[in-house]
Amino acid sequence: MKTLSRQTSFARRSFLQLGAAGLAATALPLRAAADAVDADAAIREIFGDKPLNEGRVTVKLPPIAENGNSVAITVAAESLMSPDDYVRRIAIISPRNPIAEVAVFKLSPHAGKAEVSTRIRMAGTQRIRAVAEMSDGTLWHGSASTVVTLAACLIG
């Protein structure tokens, strides 16, 4: 009995290895996706090479999204929104989508409230990042994670 269970577990292990190899092989052609490095590069490209401060930006996302094709997101930045202290731009960045940059919003002090909501595509479970550029030029960063059960498909 004991030998039998050992055998099955061995068989299962080799099957799992095969499966993992198969998965890796199929995943390869999809490596067009962005990664964390691309996300950092996208932020630098939009805002220039400035330090990112943690805070003042909140990203609201559902904890689980059943359909990655349309996920509701709200990005808010803490700001007085007065003529000399306001949020100039807000960018939404994905570390896993084919293109890291999702959207860039330009706000004016006229907005009254630095908050934007939209719906984005998510090519898999990831931590979506948002960067706000204040009128004094400082950059602030926030993020939120969503588990995506059905990714916005790259194939069809």
Partner 1 sequence: MATIRIAAPDTASAGEVIELKALIQHPMETGYRSGPDGKRIERDIIEKFEVTYDGETVFEADLRPGIAANPIFTFYTRATTSGPIVFKWTDQDGESWSETHELTVE
Return residues touching partner 1 (CB under 8 A): 32, 69-71, 74, 92, 94, 97-99, 101-108, 110-113, 115-121, 153-156
- In the complex, minimum distance from the CB of residue 27 to partner 1, in angstroms, rounded to a whole number: 15
Within 8 A by CB and 6+ apart from 141, the residues are 52, 53, 54, 55, 57, 129, 130, 131, 132
**Cβ-based nearer residue to partner 1, 40 or 115:** 115
Closest CA to 120 of 129, 107, 131: 129
**Cβ-based nearer residue to partner 1, 57 or 92:** 92
User: What letter represents residue 54's amino acid?
Assistant: E
- In the complex, minimum distance from the CB of residue 137 to partner 1, in angstroms, rounded to a whole number: 19
**Cβ-based nearer residue to partner 1, 13 or 35:** 35
